[in-house]
Structure 1
Amino acid sequence: MLSQTVEYALRAMVHLAASSREARTTDQIAEATHVPKAYLSKVLQSLVRAGLVHSQRGVGGGMTLVHTPDQVTILQVVNAVEPIQRIHTCPLGLSTHGKNLCPLHRRLDDAMAEVESAFANTRLSEVLAAPGASIPLCESAIDESPSPVGQAGEPG
């Protein structure tokens, strides 16, 4: 449902959101997010044009979020690279349908509206804070070795 471009933009934004306002180079972002550098450069340009990312050249430069992770929604990221296409008139151009969508196109547009709403109501900070077995974009930081225990299963 989401294009690779949208996926890459979301990965980059989540990575930057987790970087605590520290500038990241395109190389660093590409390595951390497993996105090809050339493709990532184009995606980052779109995010800069949309006012979501700031690009600073030179020593100590790189990419940073313009806003805090609590101020950026998933919808803003999606719309920066590939806006969600809603169905406002008959996609077939049938003059008798016009803005009165048939049941199929009405349901498709309703589904897109729900996705749009879910994305609009989800902030980057929520993605980073969501409980789960894995951390977004990272190998598990959880030490899977058994915890030290004393006799009879008591903590050591």
Structure 2
Amino acid sequence: MRLTSFTDYGLRMLMRMASAPDRAFSTAELAEEFGLSRNHLAKIMQRLAQADLVQTRRGGGGGAILAHPADEIALGRIVRALEEGQALVECFAPDGGDCTIERCCRLKARLRSAEAAFLADLDRSTLADIALPARPDF
């Protein structure tokens, strides 16, 4: 299974935030730290806030903090939130895609099972398990 860069960057952001959970992080700060587009990270931060994974505050001293302790945020929950709308294969899309073998396909059920197993495995780990080490050079 391949995750989108949207999910990859979102995981990086959360891993960094989990390394200093009492500190608010601005999107600009995270973008500079990771060498990524501020606008792209702002969209990811918005999705994380909509999923109740982070809380955001505007103004001086603003930024984003984790909405819950890192050990209460399952990795599967994060991936589900960030991959929302990204079908594993075309036939998983809401419109069913344009598959010519759908009526006789034996692969779809196996892929759904594999995707469920992948997410279930991620649900056994939390953001605390993958938090970046607290380092003074961050």
Shorter-chain TM range is 0.7 to 0.9
Q: 1:105 to 1:73 in 2, by over 3 A?
A: same
1:109 positional shift: 1.7
1:4-153 matches, within 5 Å, as 4-83=5-84, 85=87, 92=99, 96=103, 102-128=105-131
Q: 1:93 to 1:57 in 2, by over 3 A?
A: same
Secondary structure of the residue aligned to 1:22 is: coil
RMSD across aligned C-alpha pairs, in angstroms?
2.8
Deviation by residue 1:89-140 (Cα, 9 ceiling, x = unmatched): x87486855xxxx432222222211211112111001113xxxxxx57x8x9
1:31 positional shift: 2.1
Q: TM (normalized to structure 1)?
A: 0.70
Secondary structure of the residue aligned to 1:64 is: strand
The answer on whether the counterparts of 2:10 and 2:45 sit within 8 Å (CA) in structure 1 is yes
Measure, in 1, the Cα distance between the counterparts of 2:75 and 2:115: 14
Measure, in 2, the Cα distance between the counterparts of 1:7 and 1:94: 32
Instruction: Could you tell me which runs of 5 or more consecutive residues in structure 1 were left unpaired when the two chains were aligned.
Output: 129-134, 142-156
Relative contact order, higher structure (CA 8 A, sep 6+) = 2
Q: TM (normalized to structure 2)?
A: 0.78
The answer on whether the counterparts of 1:15 and 1:33 sit within 8 Å (CA) in structure 2 is no
1:35 positional shift: 2.4
Larger Rg: 1
Q: Percent identity?
A: 28
Q: 1:42 to 1:95 in 2, by over 3 A?
A: closer
1:42 positional shift: 0.5
Structure 1 counterpart of 2:15, which letter?
A: V
Instruction: Could you tell me which runs of 5 or more consecutive residues in structure 2 were left unpaired when the two chains were aligned.
Output: none
The answer on whether the counterparts of 2:21 and 2:66 sit within 8 Å (CA) in structure 1 is no
